[in-house]
Structure 1
Amino acid sequence: MACASNELNRLADRAAWLTAEAHRRWHDPEPSEGSGPGPTKRVFVEAITAAPRLSAQRQILFRAMHAELNTLRGANVGAVERSLRRAREARQNLMDAKAANRLD
C-alpha cells in the first residue's frame, strides 16, 4: 500500500503545482523572466500601488489592468489553454487514482 500512497502523493503534488501554474498563467498571461509578473502587469501594479488607496484613479488603473490582461490572454491563448488543460488533466488523474485506490 505504500506504493499507492506514494503515487497518490506524487499525483497530488503534480496537480497542485499545475493548478498553481494555470492560476498564475491566467492572472498574468504574458511570459515573464523570473518569478515576478510580466512587464505589462508589472507596470500596472506599480501604478496601482502609487495611486492613493480607495481613489478613483486606483480603480481605473485596476480595471484597465484587467482589460489588458484579458487582451493578453487572447494573444497568448495557446499557452493559457495548455496550462489550464494540463491542470484539469492532472486533477482528473488524481481523482481517478483515488477512486481506483478505494476499490482496492
Structure 2
Amino acid sequence: MAANVLDFTDANWKSDVLDSEIPVIVDFWAPWCGPCRMLAPTIEKLAGEFEGKVKIGKMNTDENQETPGGLRISAIPTVLIFQGGKEVDRLVGVNTESKFKASLEKLGVS
C-alpha cells in the first residue's frame, strides 16, 4: 500500500472514520480479488492528490469482518464515502477516478 493510503481496521474504525473531521474514502477489498487489485492504483492516486483534505484508506474484508458486515458490504471492491460519521456515497465495482472526484465535489472537496 502507498504511504498515504491508510489501513482501516475494525479496531480503528470509530476513531479514524466515524470521528474524522474530514471526509473519508474507504475501499473494502481482499488480496485475492482481481478487481480490487485493478482499483488500487486509482485509490493510491486519489490519496496523493487529496492528502490533507480527505482520509483515504483500505479495509481488508478477510481480516476485518465486523465492520463490512455491519455496513452490508456484499461485493468487493466497494468504496464508501463518509462525512461527519455518516455514509454519503457507495460505489460498487471498479470505478473511474472521475467518478470518485465527482462524489467528492458534491461534498465540497476539490
Same fold (TM over 0.5): no
**Larger radius of gyration, structure 1 or 2?**
1
Higher helix share: 1
TM-score (norm 2): 0.26
